[in-house]
Structure 1
Amino acid sequence: MTSYIVTYFPLDGLAWAARTILTISGAEYKNEFPDWPADKKNTPFGRLPVLTEISPDGSKFVLAEIDAINAYLAEKYGYLPKDIKDRATVMQYYYQIRDISESFTNHIVRFKTTRSLDRYVDRMKTFIEKHEDILAKSKSGYYFGDSPTLPDLYLYYVYNGMARVGDKSLNHFSEEKSPVISRLVAKVGTIPNIKKAFMSSVPP
């Protein structure tokens, strides 16, 4: 049986999606917490997370970079469409969600300036406007088809992560401001075992 090692810190962060796809897919994996920065030299590019796939014959496939890892696991376990154009469409939604997540993190962790706040707020408002419309047109409520794909999963994480931040004024998601997005998040939250992958506080 194929198994995996997810090398990252003991928190959700950039490894959440990979851990979640493996968890809800029933794959065998373990978390490996590095001695950082001593172990930095042992990673492909000096960055985390790193995914190690161990085949039944013992051979290893090592993959770094969050988006490469997430896309690989999503495709392997059925969380991306098969058609190349459908897959590209779904990935654009995923990158949009990654973008607002990075803008949010950059403001609250790195910059904490008026400029970084304005940048984040502008992107959030545009995101909610556009994605409310995209999801409102979906018969299933998912971004694509009748089952969750990578952007559905990642939006669930970002939505709940923003809700846990102390400064509630930074959270532009809500049932009032983004009702369609909120319904999707609630729907994704019913996926069996999805909350087991959380390292930090689990959403209600």
Structure 2
Amino acid sequence: MPHYKLIYFAVRGKGEFIRQLFTLAGIEFEDFRQPLGSDEWPAMKRETPYGYLPVLEVDGKQLGQANAIAKFIANEHGLNGSNAWEAALIDSVGIHYDSLFEACRPFYKSWLKISDQTMEEAFKLSVEPGRDEFFPAICKFLRGNESGYIIGEKPSWIDLLVADHCTTFLRYNPNYLDKYPEAKAHMERIHSIPAIKKWIEAQPQTEI
């Protein structure tokens, strides 16, 4: 069995759904969490493939980019759809999500206090429009799939990614998904999977 080491910051961010993916697959991994603002980060940054985290080390070899890491793990362990078409649909949702993440970037900067905007301003001006671009398509997928998952008959890495995004913004604003009840039900379904539920309950509770 390869030695997996996931390197990310000590927050959920773009690393938590990958941690959950390992958990769902039943695969042991080293969960390395770098404190935000650590003096060690500038030196670490120079050693990463693209200058940011997460990074997955597999027997010492490095893979960057969160979605690429997730697809690698999912392909290895049957969590990337049941066929090539489902895998392509899952990938399309991942690309769709990239736009939402970019829309949320001003909010994350406000949370880190590296922006002149307040979190309230960033939420209203950036997060809400991004949400309203992203979730109609997700809810359409969910309404058309009796399994309760976004694509296919079993959970995939994209279910974990979308559900964890919802966690972040529901913690900030409990009304975040009021217009998208299918997405909220989906999040609850994913987080009730026994392995995921147990993992979440054991983790530090962070805002992001």
Give the TM-score band, short-chain normalised. 0.7 to 0.9
Q: Are the equivalent residues in 2 in contact too, given 1:142–1:148 (CA < 8 A)?
A: yes
After superposition, the C-alpha distances for 1:26-48 in whole angstroms (9 at most, x for unaligned) are 11111224521122222223221
Q: Are the equivalent residues in 2 in contact too, given 1:52–1:62 (CA < 8 A)?
A: yes
Question: Match for 1:183 among 182, 185, 193?
Answer: 185
Alignment of 1:22-101 (within 5 A): 22-34=22-34, 35-54=40-59, 60-101=60-101
Q: Secondary structure at the residue paired with 1:52?
A: strand
Look up the equivalent residue of 1:162 and give its one-letter code. F
2:177 equivalent in structure 1: 173
TM normalised by structure 1 equals 0.81
Change (3 A) 1:79 1:125: same
Alignment of 1:96-111 (within 5 A): 96-109=96-109
After superposition, the C-alpha distances for 1:126-184 in whole angstroms (9 at most, x for unaligned) are 3232322221111112112221112211111011110112xx28x5313xx21211221
Structure 2: runs of 5 or more not aligned = 35-39
Look up the equivalent residue of 1:49 and give its one-letter code. P
Q: Are the equivalent residues in 1 in contact too, given 2:4–2:28 (CA < 8 A)?
A: yes
2:129 equivalent in structure 1: 122
Q: Give the Cα separation in 2 of the matches to 1:188 and 1:45.
A: 31
Q: Give the Cα separation in 2 of the matches to 1:132 and 1:184.
A: 9
Q: Secondary structure at the residue paired with 2:69?
A: helix
TM normalised by structure 2 equals 0.80
Look up the equivalent residue of 1:37 and give its one-letter code. P
Look up the equivalent residue of 1:47 and give its one-letter code. Y
Q: Are the equivalent residues in 2 in contact too, given 1:2–1:28 (CA < 8 A)?
A: no
Change (3 A) 1:179 1:117: closer
2:156 equivalent in structure 1: 149
1:57 equivalent in structure 2: none
CA-based RMSD:
2.6
Look up the equivalent residue of 2:93 and give its one-letter code. Y
| Equivalent pairs, count | 193
Q: Give the Cα separation in 2 of the matches to 1:21 and 1:36.
A: 25
After superposition, the C-alpha distances for 1:10-69 in whole angstroms (9 at most, x for unaligned) are 211121122111112111111224521122222223221110112xxxxx4321121211
Q: Are the equivalent residues in 1 in contact too, given 2:170–2:176 (CA < 8 A)?
A: no
What is the CA-CA distance between 1:96 and the residue it aligns to? 2.3
What is the CA-CA distance between 1:117 and the residue it aligns to? 4.2
Q: Give the Cα separation in 2 of the matches to 1:95 and 1:181.
A: 18
